[in-house]
Amino acid sequence: MTSLPFDDRDGVIWLDGALVPWREARLHVLSHGLHYGGGVFEGERVYAGQPFKLTEHSRRLHASALELGFRIPFGVAELDQATREVVRRQGITDGYVRPVAWRGSEQISVSGAGTSVHVAIAAWEWPHVFTAEAQTRGIRLGTSRWRRPAPDTAPVRAKAASLYNICTLARDAAEADGYDDALLLDFRGQLAEATGANLFLVIDGELHTPIADTFLDGITRQSVIALAHELGIAVHERHLAPEELARAEEVFLTGTAYEVQPVRAVDDREYQVGKVTRALSEAYLRLVHA
């Protein structure tokens, strides 16, 4: 990824219905979303100038906002159109789109009632998260002490900015220990996900993935499950204990930014990048470039 700071770039960002110069896309320091976590976002990939599964992402942004108790003031079709315009104006070929919505600055109170809702969409070139070697050989995960919360304690069905505090803490600690990402357990001590991607284990040639009841059921996750069915690979969505990592022949992650990312190690346990991971990675690349 480029090292340019994200607040000092050329181009435009769509903000509350209009394209504005990149450096002028600002929010007030007393925005409710900044102080109390009243914000939701999406991550979308652009392939050959086209955002992948754009409408699904726009719909999920709406759903996430409703989970946090507010409504997006722009319809799904408006968000889709705005995203395409931003991608076109930025000249993005292979990149990333970040729509974000947050509560405004009408009041500073725990209650969010009466606050306005703002929406911004930005896009930039971003071909891959990890190096070419990591994409081929796989990445290393370290199990985090942080856990995904119970569904009756946090809005786990939303892509909420507030929930990513856990991910930031886990990822920073993992990288400090020499890993590429962190593996999070859920509140029960069962396998959950990485900091920004869903988890899959290959056991006896079949896919096993945690039930998405404490974390987001990713759009890429859903796509890979559908591809597995098309390829005749059995898929089991179930609760997985950490001990089942010992049974796995292959491990991989899925996400908008990660795509299908092989894992070569979890803590001290190592894995090969096998035929199931390779088959699904190739199928996913065909899908996004179709």
216 is in which domain, residue-wise? 132-288
User: Which alpha helices (DSSP H) does the chain contain, by range?
Assistant: 32-36, 54-67, 76-90, 132-137, 164-176, 219-230, 275-288
Residue 5 covered by a domain: no
Statement to judge: residues 106 and 188 lie in one domain:
no
Report the C-alpha gap between 74 and 59 in whole angstroms: 11
- Of 76, 94, 125, the one marking the end of a domain is 125
* Alpha-carbon separation of residue 192 from 22, 123, 158 (angstroms): 36, 29, 16
Statement to judge: residues 74 and 175 lie in one domain:
no
Residue 54 covered by a domain: yes
- Of 73, 107, 125, the one marking the end of a domain is 125
pLDDT at 273: 96
Q: What is the pLDDT along the chain (290 residues), one digit of tens a residue?
A: 457 899 999 999 999 999 999 999 999 999 999 999 999 999 999 999 999 999 999 999 999 999 999 999 999 999 999 999 999 999 999 999 999 999 999 999 999 999 999 999 999 998 788 888 888 899 999 999 999 999 999 999 999 999 999 999 999 999 999 999 999 999 999 999 999 999 999 999 999 999 999 999 999 999 999 999 999 999 999 999 999 999 999 999 999 999 999 999 999 999 999 999 999 999 999 999 99
pLDDT at 135: 87
Statement to judge: residues 162 and 107 lie in one domain:
no
> Total domain count for the chain?
2
Statement to judge: residues 153 and 53 lie in one domain:
no
Report the C-alpha gap between 142 and 182 in whole angstroms: 5
**Residue recorded with tokens 């003031």:** 73
| Residue 53 designated active-site | no
Nearest C-alpha neighbor of 141 from the set 187, 208, 188, 201: 201
Residue 85 covered by a domain: yes
Residue 245 covered by a domain: yes
Statement to judge: residues 177 and 106 lie in one domain:
no
Residue 105 covered by a domain: yes
Statement to judge: residues 121 and 48 lie in one domain:
yes
Statement to judge: residues 192 and 110 lie in one domain:
no
- CATH number of the domain enclosing 90: 3.30.470.10
- Of 66, 94, 125, the one marking the end of a domain is 125
pLDDT at 1: 44
Statement to judge: residues 139 and 283 lie in one domain:
yes
Residue 1 covered by a domain: no
Residue 6 covered by a domain: no
Nearest C-alpha neighbor of 190 from the set 143, 223, 152: 143
Selecting among 159, 208, 221, 264, the annotated active-site residue is 159
pLDDT at 250: 98
Statement to judge: residues 21 and 44 lie in one domain:
yes
Question: The tokens of 8 are what?
Answer: 């000092």
pLDDT at 141: 98
Statement to judge: residues 141 and 116 lie in one domain:
no
Residue 17 covered by a domain: yes
Statement to judge: residues 108 and 235 lie in one domain:
no
Statement to judge: residues 114 and 149 lie in one domain:
no
- CATH number of the domain enclosing 273: 3.20.10.10
Report the C-alpha gap between 71 and 55 in whole angstroms: 17
